[in-house]
Each structure stands twice: as C-alpha cells, then as structure tokens.
Amino acid sequence: MRSWLEQLHCDTQTVLREIQEIIENYIDFQRGRHVQGHELKDTQGVCEIFFQYLSDVDDQFNQLHINRMTTLMCTLDNFPEYVINTWWTDVLRFMQELLKSTLIFEEQPPTIIRKDKKFHAKVRWLIGSKIETFANIDQLTGIATILNNEMVKNVKQGVCSEQSVSKIQNGMAKFEINQNGEVSAKLRECKIMLINRNGSKDSDKKIHEKFAVLFRTRIVWNNTAIDIPLLSLPLCLATHVHQDENLHAMLMWDYAFAAKDRLAFEVPDTVQWFQLAEILSRMWNNSIGSHLTDAHLKYLYAATLDADLLAPAPEAAQGYPGRSSGTPGRLCSYPRAHKAPPDAQSRAHLSVRG
C-alpha cells in the first residue's frame, strides 16, 4: 500500500504528463490534425497553477531541511528518509520539465520560406507571469536559426550545439509580458541568410530537404542556467514560387502522418488509403467549406492507385475504402499520392458546382 507521500508523487507526475499531452495536442492542431484543442488561455492557467503548486512544495521541503524536521516527519509517517529526498529531487525535475515543455510556438513560422520574403513567428511561455518569481522577463531573450535533419536529431537527443544551416536576420527576440500575464517573444521581419544545404549533388533532393526553425533561450532557475531549445514544425526553404506546390505536398504528408516520437523528419513510406482520403477531404473542407464527395474520392483513389477509372476496385466503391468494410484497404505511398492526375479530367472530377 502506498504512503500518502508516494500517492502524492504519483498524482503529481500524472498531472505533469496530462499537461504535456495538452500541449502536444495543440501542436498537432497546428499540424492540421483532427484533435480536440484547448484554448491557450485555459492551458496557461493550468500551467501557472501547477508551477505554483510545485514551487510551494519545494519551499516546504526546503523549510523541513532548514529546520531539520525531515527525520522527525519520516518517523511520524513511518517511511524511510530517502523517500523525502527522492520526492524533493523529483519536484525540482518536474519544475524543470514544465519550464521546457511550456515554451511553444503560438504562431508557427510559414511552412515555406523564401530567401526574398520576410516572415514572422511568435513564441509563448505558458507558465506566464510565474517566470517573474525567479527571473526578470525584460532581460530574457531568444535567438532563432535554421536547422537541417541531422541538427534537429541532435537537438532532440539533447546534444547542445551552435550549428545551423542559416542564421536569421532579425532572429533575436526579447520576451515581453502583457496585461493578461502572457509572456511571449515575437520574431518580426525575419529573413533567412545564406543557406548551407547538405552535400548532395542531386538538386531535387536539395529542394525537397526539410528544415526547422530553432528558437533557443537560456534562463537561470534554482541557481542553474538552463538552455531551452524550441523546434518549429518542419518547413522548406524555396528559391522560386513554382517549387511551392511540390513542397506543400511533401509537408502535407509530414504533418498528417509523422509519428509523435520520431527523432527528426522521418515519415512512413506508406499509409492506408482511407487515412489519406480523410486528410484530403479535411483539407478540401478547410479551403472551401465542404468535404470531398464519394465521387471525388473514388476518382482520386483510382488515379492515385492506378486503378481502372471506369471500373474501380470494389473496395473503392465507398469514400473511404477499407474503413467502411473493416478490411485493411490498399496502401498508398507518398510518390503515388504526390504525382499529378494523368490529365485535365481531374479538374472536372474535383470541380465544385454552385
């Protein structure tokens, strides 16, 4: 049977994981995935309350230590002293995790950045005004750079490095706090500088390379300097407008199907057809206010999987082959999904009639 302290430890850890899950859902919402998001105002309120709770527990442990009451408390409650020390260490670890996970991109950088175009982004710290309890917000700054696949992987593995493929003009931002207690840093009028792409001689591979904006800040908490790296969603660097269509398709596949626990920009080679159909229908709805019809999806299924347009496979008879029948359905790869329909007939199939 758990002691009350062990139960409190378990409950606190559960709350932290739930907060992190809410933040992950917000990032999935930014990806365009169909998830139930929370208002950032409400999320910040929960984060502030929880951070204050952890701060209070830390203060109580500190008072126990100063007054040499730890041994007496353990004796009265009948548990070993190491339990107190472990719990105190974990409280500090939970606070540090909360500091890192509550720094988010409220406004992500654009999915495609061109050298000749300025872009904007906004970073927000969801513990809000609680930062003022241990730091001067006016002195907090962060700097943004562009990273490639390997650099992103290193950041996620905890490797501290100043490497980047490009610095960002106007990439330094100061944190500010507004009247609502929201702490944020705005990247304004930013431009990428020289792009150092990978060593591949294949120009197509270079164009289709994915990157991320890294926003790095440092804060002193509990007498310790903590580096906090924040990665944006994947993006592409383009030199010409005509590249945008292919790059949007590549990023759509990434945003829709990438696993949460991936190291860098890994994506599945294939997905079930009904998964792709749901994504395409949702994107269509976001653009024009209505979902793709069964006729649209039948045509796309046939065009994508090289089926006979006049006599599609039986599983294509429904809008989402495989899901409605309970069978796995056919797999679709990115190269198949990315290729253009064979002729202008696609425009007729996907036209919206008033």
> In a 10 Å sphere around its CB, with 0-12 CB exposed, 13-18 middle and 19+ buried, how is residue 116 labelled?
exposed
pLDDT at 30 over 70: yes
The predicted-structure confidence for 132-177, as pLDDT tens digits, reads as follows 888 889 899 999 999 999 999 999 998 877 888 888 999 999 999 9
Sorting pLDDT into bands at 50, 70 and 90, what band is 211? very high
Q: Enter the DSSP assignment of 114.
A: E
The predicted-structure confidence for 176-185, as pLDDT tens digits, reads as follows 999 999 999 9
CA dist 182 and 305 (Å) reads 49
Higher pLDDT, 220 or 338: 220
Q: CB-side exposure of 270: number of CA atoms within 13 Å?
A: 10
pLDDT at 341 over 60: no
- What is the arithmetic mean of pLDDT over 340-348? 46
Going by C-alpha positions, the residue among 287, 285, 157 that lies closest to residue 231 is: 157
Question: What pLDDT does residue 245 have?
Answer: 86
- What is the arithmetic mean of pLDDT over 234-243? 87
Tokens of 235: 């993006």
Higher pLDDT, 197 or 272: 272
Sorting pLDDT into bands at 50, 70 and 90, what band is 327? very low
pLDDT at 13 over 80: yes
Question: What pLDDT does residue 200 have?
Answer: 54
pLDDT at 244 over 50: yes
Residue-wise DSSP of 265-328: S---SEEEHHHHHHHHHHHHHHHHSSPPPHHHHHHHHHHHTT--SSS--GGGGSSSTTTTTTS-
Sorting pLDDT into bands at 50, 70 and 90, what band is 216? very high
Question: What pLDDT does residue 304 have?
Answer: 77
CATH dotted code for 104-240: 2.60.40.630
Lowest-pLDDT choice from 78-82, 177-181, 275-279: 78-82
Question: What pLDDT does residue 351 have?
Answer: 47
Q: Mean pLDDT of all residues in the chain?
A: 81
Tell the residue number behind the tokens 């949460």, with chain if given.
260
CA dist 212 and 230 (Å) reads 10
Going by C-alpha positions, the residue among 133, 136, 128, 132 that lies closest to residue 46 is: 128
pLDDT at 329 over 90: no
Question: What pLDDT does residue 71 have?
Answer: 64
Higher pLDDT, 97 or 195: 97
CB-based contact 164:194 (threshold 8 Å): no
pLDDT at 344 over 60: no
Higher pLDDT, 286 or 257: 257
CA dist 82 and 175 (Å) reads 39
Sorting pLDDT into bands at 50, 70 and 90, what band is 195? confident
